[in-house]
Structure 1
Amino acid sequence: MFVGAGMKPSFVVLFLMLGAVVNVRPVQGEASVLYPYGPDQGDQKNPKLDDGTSEQVALAVPFTFYSQEYQSLYVNNNGVISFDSQVSEYTPDPFPLADGRPFVTPYWADVNNVAGGDVFYRETTDPTLLALLTKNINQYFPDVSYTATWAFVATWDHVAYYGTETDKGNTFQAVLTTNTQMSFIILNYKDIQWTTGVASGGDPETGLGGTPAHAGFNSGDDKNFYNIPGSQTEAIINVTQTSNVNVPGRWVFRVDEFKVTGVPTEAPKVANSNDCWL
């Protein structure tokens, strides 16, 4: 069952008045697991609002997700891209959620971009990006012949958690791409430093504990869903080291008819930063 956003204690304003550290990194397309993002890419930015969301984004082409076409979406601050309605819930629930709401959760947790970080997004047909997506998808799915004609890029850049008493931030990204026949979603994780906001039982000094973040896909029914290994456990902090395509920090899925390639046989364990599970 979803936890209502209105149930949070109202101490965030006081917290900011008392001198919370606001750490907003310069935004740029980083030469890393992330695809280019930020103002120089023409990205729009979500408002600074705890549990906030973008306006409804009308898509230039339909995007097919679990065999259903969608013409619009929302980029929700709490690490969710949703197709039918906004998602303001801050404590993740395990999938499947048979409430009729289809969405993808790159990193569903209690983000508070008021305390730090930004949420960027753009719809694009930039030839350079499409060429790179085409190359990557054909590499990861060698049995298909794919040429990207459209993409949507959403990036959470060094975002803080609700109730933070630190400058910890998470940087991750979701890229939707289609040729109108096939649809793919790429999830990129560059830097994950926290798993849980205070209102979800997390520690204000560590951002750990409580109900950790969830990464995966929910179709809205009780049958079609996928959970990235480690979701809602302490192991999700290691998602920068895991992959289903042999690229640490990258997970790639065909989602028009949901298919997963190269899924690891084991969920990630919790260990030191030098370990890697692919």
Structure 2
Amino acid sequence: MVSRTSIDRFFSFFPGTLYPIGGTTSARSLDGSSPRIALLRPFVYFGHTHNQIYVNHNGHLTFNAPWYSYIPQRFPMYGSRDIIAPFWTDIDIRRNGQINYTQYTNGTVLQQATRDINTYFPELNFTATLVFVATWYQVPYFPYSGTQTTFQAVLISDGRYSFVLMNYGIIATPTHRVEAGYDTINSTHHLSIPGTYLAQLLNRTAYLSNVNVPGRFAFRVDNGSRGCIFNGKWSDRQTDRQILFCLTSFLVATLGKKCHECCQTN
């Protein structure tokens, strides 16, 4: 079990990016999963209403059954499952690291989620009624127990609109391929954060964003995904791959502008 002091110290390095860490801790195993988790409110994912979820150890969430795959496949998979993968890679928590999950239907976390979504999607007048948080906290890659990587998937819903936040803390240099993004049954909707499959951007993930918050990506997932716009728009359609990640230092160096001057939410 990771101590509260350790978690508090971690938050001092990444204020405002990660949602609270806590709740149920997944059992230690290799390539394992949580038991079936009954969602306290339905979650609509690209037209499918889900009432349960599984937190899989290798960095992904599934809805209909646990999934133990530790070798990432590139999205789109054209497969038979809905999947949300903030950091799909080969993870081993048998000795250290932990995976937590919890959900909220009232309180300050719902208020935080409501503020975040209205900031990123201001046209919706959104009020969260469900927040589900899964955290992979200081988890090691297989078989290197000394590495520590922290990331989250946060599912937010009001019963009509649904969103996923992917939050990143400290990311150790990957020892395996990684896929980050989401996919659906038959890949009718899918998105892969560019560069992650070949680990081209992973050492900078904690500084990248599509919503001007370093280390955070926000996606609308009830019927589409929109975010930061730059010379085009954020899209999950395979034909539109103009995706900008707001890496402020990169934009300052190459464009002479700060991220908020280049991007707008739509």
TM-score range, shorter chain: 0.7 to 0.9
Indicate conservation of the 8 Å contact 1:24/1:117, yes or no: yes
Moved more, 45-54 or 232-241: 232-241
- Counterparts of 1:237-276 in structure 2 under 5 Å? 237=202, 238-262=204-228, 265=242, 275-276=249-250
CA separation of 1:89 and 1:69: change in aligned 2, threshold 3 A: same
Identity %: 33
Taking only aligned residues, the RMSD between alpha carbons, in angstroms, comes to: 2.2
Give the one of 12, 17, 21 matched to 1:33: 17
The one-letter code of the counterpart of 1:34 is L
CA positional deviation for 1:194: 2.9
The 2-side partners of 1:194 and 1:154 are apart by 21
CA positional deviation for 1:266: 5.8
Pairing 1:232–2:212 present: no
CA positional deviation for 1:249: 0.5
Pairing 1:61–2:41 present: yes
The 2-side partners of 1:162 and 1:263 are apart by 37
The one-letter code of the counterpart of 2:24 is Q
The 2-side partners of 1:24 and 1:163 are apart by 20
Unaligned residue ranges in structure 2 (runs of 5+): 231-241, 252-258, 260-266
CA separation of 1:112 and 1:236: change in aligned 2, threshold 3 A: farther
TM, length-normalised to structure 2: 0.81
CA positional deviation for 1:114: 1.1
The one-letter code of the counterpart of 1:146 is F
Q: Which residue of 2 aligns with 1:48?
A: 28
Indicate conservation of the 8 Å contact 1:169/1:194, yes or no: no
The 1-side partners of 2:162 and 2:220 are apart by 6
The 2-side partners of 1:131 and 1:230 are apart by 33
Pairing 1:114–2:94 present: yes
The 1-side partners of 2:142 and 2:47 are apart by 35
CA positional deviation for 1:274: 9.8
CA positional deviation for 1:187: 0.7
Indicate conservation of the 8 Å contact 1:218/1:226, yes or no: yes
Indicate conservation of the 8 Å contact 2:229/2:244, yes or no: no
1:114 alignment partner, SS class: coil
Indicate conservation of the 8 Å contact 1:110/1:162, yes or no: yes
Aligned pairs, number: 233
Q: Which residue of 2 aligns with 1:221?
A: 186
- Counterparts of 1:176-215 in structure 2 under 5 Å? 176-196=155-175, 202=176, 212-215=177-180
TM, length-normalised to structure 1: 0.78
Unaligned residue ranges in structure 1 (runs of 5+): 1-22, 197-201, 203-211
The 2-side partners of 1:154 and 1:276 are apart by 30
- Counterparts of 1:68-147 in structure 2 under 5 Å? 68-147=48-127
Q: Residue by residue, what CA displacement relative to the aligned partner does 1:67-104 show, whole Å, maximum 9, x if unpaired? A: 11011010001000111121111010011122211010
